[in-house]
Structure 1
Amino acid sequence: MMSRKIGRVVEVRRKNENLDDIRVDVNGDIQRAYNYPKMTGKVSEGDQVVLNTTAVELSLGTGGYHYVIVNLDNIESDLEQDGHIMKLRYTPMQVNVDSVEDHESRYHDVFEEFESLDGMYVAVGTLHSMLAPFAASYKRNNPDKKLVYIMTDGAALPIYFSLNVATLKDKGLIDSTITIGNAFGGDYECINIYTALITAKEIVKADAVFVGMGPGIAGTGTKYGFTGIEQGHIIDAVAKLGGNAVAIPRISFADMRERHRGISHHSITVFSEIANEKADIVFTVYGGEKEETIRKQIEKSGIDKKHNIVFMENSNAEDDIGHYGLKVKSMGRGYAEDKEFFDSASTAAYYITERTNR
């Protein structure tokens, strides 16, 4: 059930064409809210708005903000595009998009003529916070190559919510974005991961691709109950279409939860049970106790029998991130607090660089 309240906009703190960071007065209490102008129109100070307050009332970290449902002082709006594929289908917030596969799309025939990804390298991540270190390391070593980000619908659905994506695009570290499933707002809209990968290769002409969800993974602490399980299906899709999947393992020695120490149970479940096709799984060389822990987990889980396990030297992640002035965080921790997590994504970028520049 959705919880709704009426508030009045008292400040527009930050805005652009995709996202408004606003402050609203709700029963005398000033609270933070977000407005998506392409969905709900413009807001101005003094406007009365209906808010979805569910996540805040549940004290959720993921999606824990108010969101504008409708601006009572600016209710009517017109269609901005002619696409006939709906996302958020059969909900009050459904939006139409110009899907590249649609019959009316100028790209429609591309999908009928497609044959293979021809070995294109595709990095497959889980947490959204893997994107920035991967992009920084890839682009620093391949400034003239085209990197495409495919955002799944495993977490945030509007790509507008990701300040990371906006920053990476502004800095030229991501060349194009594709949103799939019920995620929307990318430069290209696709129905599923298969057509998104075809779009990346045949339409955008990508040299490399990063696939992963937007901000806000959902997890339950159970073996299969997390949205990052999609990593397995994506690995299979890449292989099915003739690409090379490079799976980014979730690594941490800062997370206090035992199930996420070393190689996260999320990654072990995906690699051992969910992915049917072989992937390259790249680990950073550390030596000592940390590497010993990782190698024992690999052996115990048997993922080395199923996938190509690679250990690679990489001490450049922090420098690559700093080179572009990026600020990275995952689960509230920055690079200094959780370096192994960010190294993992960076090392995958170095591996793809090595493989494609031979």
Structure 2
Amino acid sequence: MRIRREWPGAMELEVAVPEGDNPPGAEPGALYRALAYPALVGRPEPGDEVLLNTTALAMGLGTGGYAMVVAVPNRLPQDPQGPGHLVKARYTPLQATVLGADEQDSPFHDRLREADSVDGMPVVVADLHSALPPILCGLYDTAARDLRVAYVMLDGGALPAWFSMAAARLREIGWLSGVVTVGQAFGGDVEAVTTHTGLLAARHVLEADVAIVTQGPGNLGTGTRWGFSGVSAGEAVNAASVLQGRPVAALRVSEGDLRERHLGVSHHSLTAYGRVALTRAQVPVPMLAGAFGERVRDQAELLAVRHELVPVPVDGLHEALRASPVRLSTMGRGLEEDLAYFLASAAAGRFAASLLA
């Protein structure tokens, strides 16, 4: 029906669905938000017929609550012309062929072929994509604004980096020097096969001073100890350590989540860092006030057997977060609804900045 807005790689549309094809519980004649990635499906224009996947609408998803455009049948994209031989989202109908920084046809292949170290680069690892902006707020509140920061996006959530409006905006204003998409994720400024080559590309292709590693938007969890996509945070700690980086394990902390397993230090952090991460990391522990702050510090002590706990003051970080250039939101909660979450992430950024001195 109309194009609502667009940003690099993605378009948000308003679509009408034929009567009888509406998702369960929808009002007849309702209009829906839909998301299209023109490079994969073609560029839709008002009046076009589009093929939709409405799974997210039927499930009532929050972050990913879009109908997804599968194809614009009368306006298909061009076939891939190359260069590039990496196929991501492999063996799905929307698989994408990209040029990997580490493949033979890449101008960076020779640089990465023997690369084996990120030269002590701080690597801030976090569970959720929503930690990316507050980590940057804490980093830039302390460090110089001419830093080169790379975002290494894992494939535990959204696969297209284009889905993240926050990453696009942070890239636009220079808070990110680039996005590296690894594994099955794609659409970054740089493509890589694994988290390891993604970190190497961040250092040797984007020439990053700091890397931030999280999954894309759309965390998957099951309420079980091991069944959540953020397990990859522990694996990222291992990769950073093996490559001679300085892993900084950002805690997922919440005072606003009603689920006991996420209250205080989330069980995601305790499992990913306490069980999956086999190498030593530095864990910034935000010095939050009151009984809740004591709870966070007590829970963080469970990680002290393997990691170095570093107390980080949070004074001034609330103001830095209020000045964020992008909207802060986690699990539908904004800055004031779950301040502890954002302070903990910003504290990790503040600590990473201290490693650059």
TM-score range, shorter chain: over 0.9
8 Å contact 1:17–1:37 — kept in the other structure? no
| Counterpart-to-counterpart distance in 2, 1:17 and 1:134 | 22
8 Å contact 1:136–1:320 — kept in the other structure? yes
Match of 1:84 in 2: 85
1:131-150 map, 5 Å = 131-140=132-141, 141-150=143-152
Q: Does 1:93 align with 2:56?
A: no
Aligned length: 346
Match of 2:62 in 1: 61
Change in CA separation of 1:115 and 1:191 when aligned onto 2, cut-off 3 Å: closer
Superimposed CA distance per residue, residues 234-288 of structure 1 (whole angstroms, 9 cap, x where no aligned partner): 0001111111100001001111111111100111111221110011010111242
| Counterpart-to-counterpart distance in 1, 2:324 and 2:230 | 28
SS of 2:304 mapped into structure 1: helix
Match of 1:224 in 2: 226
Match of 1:181 in 2: 183
Higher relative contact order (CA 8 A, sep 6+): 2
SS of 1:356 mapped into structure 2: coil
SS of 1:205 mapped into structure 2: coil
Q: Does 1:252 align with 2:254?
A: yes
8 Å contact 2:116–2:200 — kept in the other structure? no
Selected match of 2:212 from 200, 210, 215: 210
Match of 1:323 in 2: 323
| Counterpart-to-counterpart distance in 2, 1:115 and 1:57 | 46
| Counterpart-to-counterpart distance in 2, 1:253 and 1:350 | 21
1:37-52 map, 5 Å = 37-52=38-53
1:117-128 map, 5 Å = 117-128=118-129
Change in CA separation of 1:325 and 1:204 when aligned onto 2, cut-off 3 Å: closer
| Counterpart-to-counterpart distance in 2, 1:166 and 1:331 | 20
1:260-275 map, 5 Å = 260-275=262-277
Match of 2:23 in 1: none
Change in CA separation of 1:66 and 1:175 when aligned onto 2, cut-off 3 Å: same
Letter in 2 for 1:343: L
Match of 1:30 in 2: 31
Letter in 2 for 1:236: N
Match of 2:110 in 1: 109
Offset of residue 344 of structure 1: 1.1
SS of 1:224 mapped into structure 2: coil
Runs (4+) of structure 1 moved beyond 4 Å?
Answer: none
Selected match of 2:294 from 292, 295, 320: 292
Letter in 2 for 1:20: M
Match of 2:3 in 1: 12
8 Å contact 1:147–1:175 — kept in the other structure? yes
| Counterpart-to-counterpart distance in 2, 1:263 and 1:214 | 21
| Counterpart-to-counterpart distance in 1, 2:165 and 2:201 | 24
Q: Does 1:194 align with 2:185?
A: no
The gaps in structure 2 that reach 5 residues or longer are 19-28
Offset of residue 347 of structure 1: 0.8
Offset of residue 156 of structure 1: 0.5
Percent of pairs with identical residues:
36
Letter in 1 for 2:312: M
8 Å contact 2:40–2:77 — kept in the other structure? no
| Counterpart-to-counterpart distance in 2, 1:81 and 1:251 | 43
| Counterpart-to-counterpart distance in 1, 2:220 and 2:8 | 28
Match of 1:348 in 2: 348
SS of 2:336 mapped into structure 1: coil
Offset of residue 65 of structure 1: 1.4
Change in CA separation of 1:71 and 1:150 when aligned onto 2, cut-off 3 Å: same
- TM-score (normalizing by structure 1): 0.93
| Counterpart-to-counterpart distance in 2, 1:290 and 1:247 | 20
| Counterpart-to-counterpart distance in 1, 2:127 and 2:274 | 16
Letter in 1 for 2:299: Q
Offset of residue 220 of structure 1: 0.3
SS of 2:32 mapped into structure 1: strand
| Counterpart-to-counterpart distance in 2, 1:327 and 1:160 | 17
The gaps in structure 1 that reach 5 residues or longer are 1-9
| Counterpart-to-counterpart distance in 2, 1:356 and 1:75 | 47
Change in CA separation of 1:16 and 1:329 when aligned onto 2, cut-off 3 Å: closer
Superimposed CA distance per residue, residues 275-303 of structure 1 (whole angstroms, 9 cap, x where no aligned partner): 1001101011124211221232234x3x1
Match of 2:22 in 1: none
Match of 1:129 in 2: 130
Letter in 2 for 1:71: V
Match of 1:4 in 2: none
Match of 1:332 in 2: 332
Offset of residue 223 of structure 1: 0.5
Selected match of 2:163 from 130, 143, 161: 161
SS of 1:39 mapped into structure 2: helix
Offset of residue 64 of structure 1: 2.3
| Counterpart-to-counterpart distance in 2, 1:265 and 1:356 | 30
